[in-house]
Amino acid sequence: MQQSVSIRDLSLNFGAVKVLERMNLDVQQGEFLVLLGPSGCGKSTLLNCIAGLLDVSGGQIFISGKNVTWEEPKDRGIGMVFQSYALYPQMSVKKNLTFGLRVAGHKKDDIERRVARAAEMLQIEPLLDRKPANLSGGQRQRVAIGRALVRDVDVFLFDEPLSNLDAKLRSDLRVEIKRLHQRLENTMIYVTHDQIEAMTLADRIAIMRDGIIQQLDTPHAIYNHPVNLFVAGFIGSPS
Ligand code: ADP
Ligand code: MG
């Protein structure tokens, strides 16, 4: 199976603090990988390195076989969705979706086609003329996902995208993201500290503690065969 994202000996320091140290990770093409771990263990740092929002202290990042360690974020073929929605407040939903495409020089009819497809997939057609201030949290997060969707990225990175939503919206959007993945068949790396999200969404889960992956396996295997007490405790498995 082809590797979509490969991390080789990745280190990231903030000053003297080593957040990631010689991390290795392979994510397969089309895989839904969940990074699960307690607050402060380095999940966002890892995603930001993959996205190119942080310069690494050592090691390499490959996307679809290409070394992107020092590529600009926009050239990496990734789309990122954050916990806070990071929409342009002064622009309509439609402008939020099209802005990046215009900057990248896409033709008008191509842009229209991409927006129509994303709006249909995320059920946001009725919202296209609204401003972000007039959307619910769940609707804003759909638009944020739409911004990655219109760019046709190979890899989606999600950093706790549902954390700001109430329980009902969270479970709705979780189902929606799962459906989206089944339809797009692209690679998704999804950060959460919520075990239920991890167990229901993941093909595989990487359990992180203090910048180190403790176990990487299917939800079933992690639940039934945790490698240590930390994993067992974190996932709530019986042993
Ligand atoms: P997580 O997303 O798992 O909650 P983070 O990746 O945000 O964890 O943070 C990992 C560690 O790095 C934490 O100890 C955090 O305090 C530290 N950290 C994160 N960002 C910075 C920064 N810009 N400067 C210094 N330390 C940081
Ligand atoms: Mg985080």
Query: What's the pLDDT tens digit per position in 33-61?
Result: 999 999 999 999 999 999 999 999 999 99
Residue-level pLDDT at 164:
86
Long-range residue pairs from 85-88, CB within 8 A, at least 24 positions apart, any chain: 85/132, 85/137, 85/140, 85/141, 85/143, 85/144, 86/144, 87/132, 87/140, 87/143, 87/144, 87/147, 88/132
Q: Identify the nearest ligand to the CA of 208 by its number.
A: 1
Ligand 1 centroid to Cα of residue 42, in Å, is 6
Residue 237 has pLDDT above 70, yes or no: no
Q: Which atom of ligand 1 is nearest to the CA of 45?
A: 6
Confidence of residue 83 (pLDDT cuts 50, 70, 90): confident
Any ligand 1 atom below 6 A from CB of 45:
yes
Considering only CA atoms, which residue is closest to atom 18 of ligand 1? Answer: 14
pTM score, two decimals? 0.94
Any ligand 1 atom below 6 A from CB of 142:
no
Any ligand 1 atom below 6 A from CB of 55:
no
Residue 195 CB partners (closer than 8 Å, separation 6+) = 36, 234, 235, 236
On whether ipTM exceeds 0.90, the answer is yes
